[in-house]
Amino acid sequence: MTGSHSTFAEPALIGLDWGTTSLRAYLFDAQGNVLATRASTAGIMNLPRPGGFDVAFEAVAAEWFEAFPDLPAIAAGMVGSAQGWREAPYVDTPATARELVAGIVDVATARGVVLHIVPGVIERGELPNVMRGEETQIVGALASDAALGANGAAALVGLPGTHAKWAVVRGERIEAFHTFMTGELFAALRDHTILGRTMTQPAKPDTEAFLRGVTVAKNADHAGLLATIFSTRTLGLTAQLKADQQPDYLSGLLIGHELAGLRAVLAARGEGLENETLRLIGEPALCERYRLALAEFGSANAAIVEHAAERGLWRIAVQAGLVGGAAAPAANAVGTTDLGR
């Protein structure tokens, strides 16, 4: 477990970003600033045995509760899934912070603390879509950026990672969203198919190889990923890609097809990728890679949102009445949220 802290001054809330593989805890002051953080690998699939959720909770928060026993606590992420501490049923789109607050469920810890768990969001239809944790980050992005979804205009929030999410927001509403398994597919192809046999890990990212992959995907028209993915190997066999360029080429190819798919679904809504207000949430290097790819698709206005999880936890806690005052952004936040590719 790792942690950082500043002076404990008027603590008001403990917030948890509790995912599949990691747990991050934040101690907020009464203005929504983050005073201290804790992080561990005790995601819901890596819980300590025995003790499970309670032991993981104590490991990141016990010190704070010992000093401030009456603090309210709120959590978002996979902790509210069917495999979590207690399931928080999905809220339907369109969803705002208000609907998320209405869907909060509580679980009592061994310490006697009531942990308030934020629900995920579902978009129903022929091919349903779900998210858990990303909805809180989106709320945080909306809280910190007045231009996002303002004046009734649609905006896009992208959350690159293992399962990349792209949410269409308008006002304070999550109206629709799409999931692309880009990061997981990259890992599977690299580690478990013939494509990985000729690859070596580069010493540093190769932007030229990455953008080559993006361009191939962008120009593939209707051919699709399955018709282009083998080029990762054949370009190597014909000495057009070095072994240490192939991982970045494959990454660009997958992200390029993701953005081509996103462009298509937006077009079906009468919207265009290059015309949208666009924000990215996630690990900075990965978000920067997406910014490069988006520029190839004509969208050069993507900005990266920092501390979205912290701001979202605070805003939802304020609207739920767990803390008083305005939903101030966590301007002095310390620590970041990791998203795997």
> What is this structure's pTM?
0.90
231 and 120 assigned to the same domain: no
Count of beta carbons in the 10 Å neighbourhood of residue 110: 11
Q: Of how many residues is the chain composed?
A: 341
Beta bridge partners of 16: 25, 75
12 and 128 assigned to the same domain: yes
96 and 215 assigned to the same domain: no
Work out the pLDDT band at 176, boundaries 50, 70, 90: very high
What is the total count of domains within the chain? 2
- Give me the CATH number covering residue 223: 3.30.420.310
* 94-126 residue pLDDT tens: 999 999 999 999 999 999 999 999 999 999 999
> 338 vs 242, which has greater pLDDT?
242
* 42-64 residue pLDDT tens: 999 999 999 999 999 999 999 99
- SS3 state of residue 310: helix
In a domain, 142, yes or no: no
* 278-335 residue pLDDT tens: 999 999 999 999 999 999 999 988 999 999 999 999 999 999 999 986 544 444 443 3
216 and 275 assigned to the same domain: yes
Q: Which of 302, 304, 316, 312 is nearest to 333 (CA)?
A: 312
Query: Once rounded to an integer, what is the mean pLDDT over residues 62-69?
Result: 95
Using CA atoms, how far apart are residues 8 and 13, in angstroms rounded to an integer? Answer: 12
299 and 190 assigned to the same domain: yes
127 and 191 assigned to the same domain: no
The separation between CA 70 and the C-alpha centre of its own chain, rounded to angstroms, equals 30
41 and 123 assigned to the same domain: yes
Using CA atoms, how far apart are residues 35 and 46, in angstroms rounded to an integer? Answer: 26
Query: Once rounded to an integer, what is the mean pLDDT over residues 185-189?
Result: 98
Given a cut of 70, whether residue 198 has pLDDT beyond it is yes
Given a cut of 60, whether residue 227 has pLDDT beyond it is yes
Burial class (CB in 10 A: 0-12, 13-18, 19+), 222: exposed
In a domain, 122, yes or no: yes
Given a cut of 60, whether residue 215 has pLDDT beyond it is yes
In a domain, 67, yes or no: yes
In a domain, 137, yes or no: no
* 235-274 residue pLDDT tens: 999 999 999 999 999 999 999 999 999 999 999 888 888 7
Strands in the chain per DSSP E: 2-5, 11-18, 23-29, 34-40, 73-77, 91-92, 105-108, 114-117, 121-123, 129-131, 154-159, 164-170, 173-180, 277-281, 303-305
The predicted pLDDT at position 4 comes to: 56
In a domain, 336, yes or no: no
Count of beta carbons in the 10 Å neighbourhood of residue 176: 19
Q: Which of 281, 60, 251, 82 is nearest to 167 (CA)?
A: 281
- Give me the CATH number covering residue 92: 3.30.420.300
Cβ contact 126:250 at 8 Å: no
In a domain, 147, yes or no: no
The predicted pLDDT at position 341 comes to: 24
In a domain, 159, yes or no: no
78 φ/ψ angles, rounded to the nearest 5 degrees: -70, -10
- Distance linking the first and last C-alpha atoms of the chain: 22
Q: Which domain holds residue 263?
A: 182-304
Burial class (CB in 10 A: 0-12, 13-18, 19+), 156: buried
Given a cut of 80, whether residue 191 has pLDDT beyond it is yes
In a domain, 175, yes or no: no
272 and 197 assigned to the same domain: yes
Percent of the chain that is helix, strand, coil (3-state, to 5): 40, 25, 40
Residue listed under structure tokens 């992005």? 141
Count of beta carbons in the 10 Å neighbourhood of residue 225: 16
192 and 89 assigned to the same domain: no
- SS3 state of residue 81: coil
